[in-house]
Amino acid sequence: MSHRFAAVDLGASSGRVVVGTFADGALALDVVHRFANEPVSAGGTLHWDILSLYRGVLDGLHQAGPVDGIGIDSWAVDYGLLDSSGALLGNPVHYRDARTDGIAERVSDLYTISGLQRLPFNTVYQLLAARDTPQYAAARTMLMIPDLLAYWLTGEIGAEYTNASTTGLLDVRTKDWSWPLIADLGLRAELFPPIRRPGDVIGHWQGTPVVAVGSHDTASAVVAVPAAGRDFAYVSSGTWSLVGLELAHPVLNDASREADFTNEGGVDGTIRYLRNVMGLWPLQECMREWGAADITVLLADAERAAPLEYVVDLDDPLFLPPGDMAGRLRNAAGLPRDATPGVVTRCILDSLALAHRRAVRRAGELAYVTPEVVHLVGGGARNELLCRLTADATGLPVLAGPVEATALGNLLVQARAAGIVPDSLDALRALVRQTQQIVRYEPCGDDAPWRAAAARVGR
Ligand code: ADP
Ligand code: LRH
């Protein structure tokens, strides 16, 4: 007897609908629809093209055919506001929009409540930036992106826990909205719908159950990390690199706050103790500027470029907004004006591996864990150079894959809710190990060049 589920997975760079077929202990993935996610700047604000994304979701679900369930995940922190009739008020704003500039600095530290890294675009700061607008005044409900899409599919309103944990308004201990914090910040409590948990049935679309999953894409990706034990670090590698550990309890001390580590809510009450590292975003932006469609050519050129010649601190917020990325990199790294795209790409990948090294080491120190292996999942697992550099920089073996970890985590949580796979995260991960291709990269064992490069970027 086989079961089919559809995962809707929206990343910052693309969306896809993936069908997972579970039969006799086997699991096959089929990406039935892939579509671009292209933000649009209008009226001076950077927006997500939410209706085009919804069109991609509907097209994908139609192509998926009959399934036993549908789960939706997306990037975190962004939301839509609904009015009293349930209509969407305006197009959701992109977290890289400049409206939150300077807001976080004006708010007292919320770390001991939310456990979140202070990122300028956390939902809380976006809401504070919007608080005095007519749109906010008319709003009655705030829905995070996957909850908004689920609402359009089912008519049901709620806030899935893992993604709500990225708002900055959830209490990391109670795992529910922090009502005192919401009141202190002058936000309206009525906006925040009841929390739903991964595995809850949200409603139905054309007779098919729509099931809450780890709707924060990173939460779903971590479910599908094919770890065998506990002493592992992960890098969820795509537009961002989310680098860290899975813990049973949050780490909320000053050292952790100062190191910018976040305690996001994971599936089954776990804590995703991680740091947002700039990821492949700078490369995506350079490719957009260069009009470079084929990443494999760039990576081959980067492979031939001199190692660790140009490095930057990719954690610098300088690299956060869109536009003239190559120019910003050139200034920060001292790259020559005529540096080829291959050399710039090498600079990005060396710098990214250096940032992975820093985050893996710091996470271990702060949480008293000694990782023995780094699992690198997501689109970045297709980048052999990045995987090899990450192994060399961290001094740990890198196990690369699955590439579609997020969709896989989404599917596994649905399959579990339907009772067709075992209950524990360990068992789900064993299924990933048995059914997915994973490539191992051994570290070269020479730490000196990485230590020197770390000193050069001053971290
Ligand atoms: P997100 O979910 O954040 O949109 P993905 O997990 O889809 O990100 O990963 C996207 C990244 O995967 C791209 O930025 C690109 O660097 C990398 N990637 C995609 N295809 C390839 C490829 N063929 N070789 C190497 N890297 C790739
Ligand atoms: C990755 C991600 C990440 C968030 C960022 C906004 O796609 O969800 O975990 O911090 O997008």
Q: Residue 385: its pLDDT value, please?
A: 98
Q: What is the pLDDT of residues 92-149, one digit of tens each?
A: 999 999 999 999 999 988 999 999 999 999 999 999 999 999 999 999 999 999 999 9
Q: Residue 392: its pLDDT value, please?
A: 98
Instruction: State whether the beta carbon of 12 lies less than 6 angstroms from ligand 2.
Output: yes
Ligand nearest to the CA of 16: 1
Instruction: State whether the beta carbon of 95 lies less than 6 angstroms from ligand 2.
Output: yes
pLDDT value at 267 more than 90:
yes
Considering the candidates 49, 78, 147, 217, report the single residue annotated as catalytic.
217
Q: Residue 24: its pLDDT value, please?
A: 87
pLDDT value at 256 more than 80:
yes
Which residue CA neighbors atom 9 of ligand 2 most closely?
218
* Test site for ligand 2: of 118, 216, 239, 242, most ligand atoms within 8 A of the Cβ: 242
Q: Residue 1: its pLDDT value, please?
A: 84
Average pLDDT over residues 18-36: 96
Q: What is the pLDDT of residues 373-383, one digit of tens each?
A: 999 999 999 99
Which of the four pLDDT bands, split at 50, 70 and 90, describes residue 25? confident
Instruction: State whether the beta carbon of 280 lies less than 6 angstroms from ligand 1.
Output: yes
Q: Which residue matches tokens 């470029």?
A: 305
Around Cβ 459, how many Cβ atoms within 10 Å? 15
Q: Residue 458: its pLDDT value, please?
A: 85
Average pLDDT over residues 28-55: 97
Interface predicted TM-score of the whole assembly (ipTM), two decimals: 0.99
Q: Burial letters for 273-301: b for 16+ Cβ neighbours within 10 Å, e otherwise?
A: bbbbbbbbbbbbbbbeeeeeeebeebbeb
CA nearest to 352, candidates 261, 408, 279? 279
Q: What is the pLDDT of residues 281-332, one digit of tens each?
A: 999 999 999 999 899 999 999 999 999 999 999 999 999 999 999 999 999 9
pLDDT value at 404 more than 90:
yes
Give percent of the chain above pLDDT 90.
Answer: 98
Could you tell me if residue 334 is left (phi over 0), alpha (psi between -120 and 50 degrees) or otherwise beta?
left
Which of the four pLDDT bands, split at 50, 70 and 90, describes residue 36? very high
Annotation says 217 is catalytic: yes
Structure tokens at 310: 């140009």
